[in-house]
């Protein structure tokens, strides 16, 4: 039997109940830093130690976090649907929640990559990435994160996946950051779409959108129950 395809775009809000802060709910500061001081290539060139320290802290925190009810419910969906997650998050909570197909748009906190050859990507053992940690070609390793101003290599794949959805879900994202925010535009108009976010609003030009103004833990669990019934 051919399974229906559910494509799910997630953002920081899906991990909020696991204890990871969202970006735009924290008054412009992100864990006490301005984004341009830690999450741009300029920041890396100016002060790589600060950037490494910032991401080391995020990684350390991630080890203390667990997937929440929303991550777990999304993994449940795989029993009945072909489920593809597209996440803007750099945490690994979807994977730890049991989801098997997760496309990361903005990189992964638990990986590093070479500053000389972007195809060289490595898992980070433990929480710390240091100055002097090098790739096999001898250049410094950087966090495997897509910083502001950098290209998003997985966006074409994400757009193609979005165009093939039978059901689309958007969870916990302010839809402020492009190109990810534009993915809804690739979903055919007749496809049912659900937006789960306590601050969710209509999206211009998007049809068939049901807005569920709940936190992910409750909103996703209830929607999954309905879809599985
Ligand atoms: P934002 O911080 O912009 O938006 C978080 C969204 O989650 C908001 O719409 C909140 O209303 C919602 N939210 C808060 N708590 C929630 C909960 N418990 N359940 C569900 N929703 C909740 O985060 P993103 O949209 O993910 O990029 O931000 C996009 C990108 O901007 C991030 O990937 C990051 C950031 O800068 C990089 O790091 C490259």
**pTM of whole model > 0.85?**
yes
Indicate the pLDDT class of residue 79, thresholds 50, 70 and 90: very high
- Measured in Å, residue 8 CA sits from the centre of ligand 1 at 14
- Measured in Å, residue 140 CA sits from the centre of ligand 1 at 30
Is the model's pLDDT at 162 over the cut of 90? Answer: yes
Q: Same domain for 171 and 218? A: yes
- Measured in Å, residue 102 CA sits from the centre of ligand 1 at 17
Is the minimum distance from the CB of 13 to ligand 1 under 6 angstroms?
yes
Q: Which residue lies with its CA nearest to atom 14 of ligand 1?
A: 13
Indicate the pLDDT class of residue 83, thresholds 50, 70 and 90: very high
Q: Same domain for 196 and 219? A: yes
Is the minimum distance from the CB of 200 to ligand 1 under 6 angstroms?
no
Nearest to 44, CA basis, from 52, 32, 34: 52
Q: Same domain for 192 and 156? A: yes
Q: Which atom of ligand 1 is nearest to the CA of 10?
A: 26
Q: Same domain for 161 and 203? A: yes
Is the model's pLDDT at 29 over the cut of 70? Answer: no
* Calpha distance 100→87 (Å, rounded): 13
pLDDT in tens, 95-139: 999 999 999 999 999 999 999 999 999 999 999 999 999 999 999
Whichever domain contains 45, its CATH number is 3.30.1600.10
Is the minimum distance from the CB of 38 to ligand 1 under 6 angstroms?
no
Q: Same domain for 72 and 164? A: yes
Q: What is the pLDDT of residue 28?
A: 58
Whichever domain contains 213, its CATH number is 3.40.50.1220
Ligand 1 pocket: which of 18, 20, 24 to mutate (most atoms within 8 A of CB): 24
Q: Same domain for 79 and 30? A: no
Q: What is the pLDDT of residue 23?
A: 84
How many separate domains does the chain show? 2
> What does the pLDDT average to over 20-35?
78
Q: What is the pLDDT of residue 34?
A: 87
Residue 129 lies in domain: 21-64+112-145
Q: What is the pLDDT of residue 27?
A: 62
Q: Whole-number mean pLDDT of the chain? A: 95
List, by residue number, the catalytic residues: 106
Q: Which residue lies with its CA nearest to atom 30 of ligand 1?
A: 177
Is the model's pLDDT at 214 over the cut of 70? Answer: yes
Dihedral of CA atoms 216, 218, 224, 228 in degrees, nearest 10, equals 170
Indicate the pLDDT class of residue 32, thresholds 50, 70 and 90: confident
> What does the pLDDT average to over 203-222?
97
23 vs 228: which has the higher pLDDT = 228
Is the model's pLDDT at 58 over the cut of 80? Answer: yes
- Measured in Å, residue 139 CA sits from the centre of ligand 1 at 33
> What does the pLDDT average to over 189-210?
96
Q: Same domain for 27 and 139? A: yes
């Amino acid at each position: 039997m051919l399974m229906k395809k559910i494509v799910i775009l997630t953002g920081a809000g899906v991990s909020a109940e696991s204890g990871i802060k969202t970006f735009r709910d924290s008054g412009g500061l992100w864990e006490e830093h301005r984004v341009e001081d830690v999450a741009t290539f300029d920041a890396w060139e100016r002060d790589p130690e600060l950037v490494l320290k910032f991401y080391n802290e995020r990684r350390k925190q991630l080890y203390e976090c667990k997937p929440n009810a929303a991550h777990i419910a999304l993994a449940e969906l795989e029993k009945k649907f072909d489920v593809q997650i597209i996440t803007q998050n750099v945490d690994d909570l979807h994977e730890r929640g049991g989801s098997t197909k997760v496309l990361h748009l903005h990189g992964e906190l638990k990986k590093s990559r070479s500053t000389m050859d972007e195809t060289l990507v490595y898992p980070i053992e433990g929480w710390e990435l240091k100055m002097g940690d090098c790739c096999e070609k001898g250049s410094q390793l950087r966090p495997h994160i897509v910083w502001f101003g950098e290209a998003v290599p997985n966006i074409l794949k994400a757009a193609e996946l979005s165009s093939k959805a039978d059901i689309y879900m958007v969870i916990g994202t302010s839809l402020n950051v492009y190109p990810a925010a534009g993915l809804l535009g690739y979903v055919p108009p007749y496809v049912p779409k659900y937006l789960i976010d306590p601050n969710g609003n209509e999206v211009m030009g998007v049809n068939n959108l049901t807005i569920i103004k709940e936190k992910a833990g409750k909103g996703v669990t209830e929607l999954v129950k309905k879809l599985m019934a």
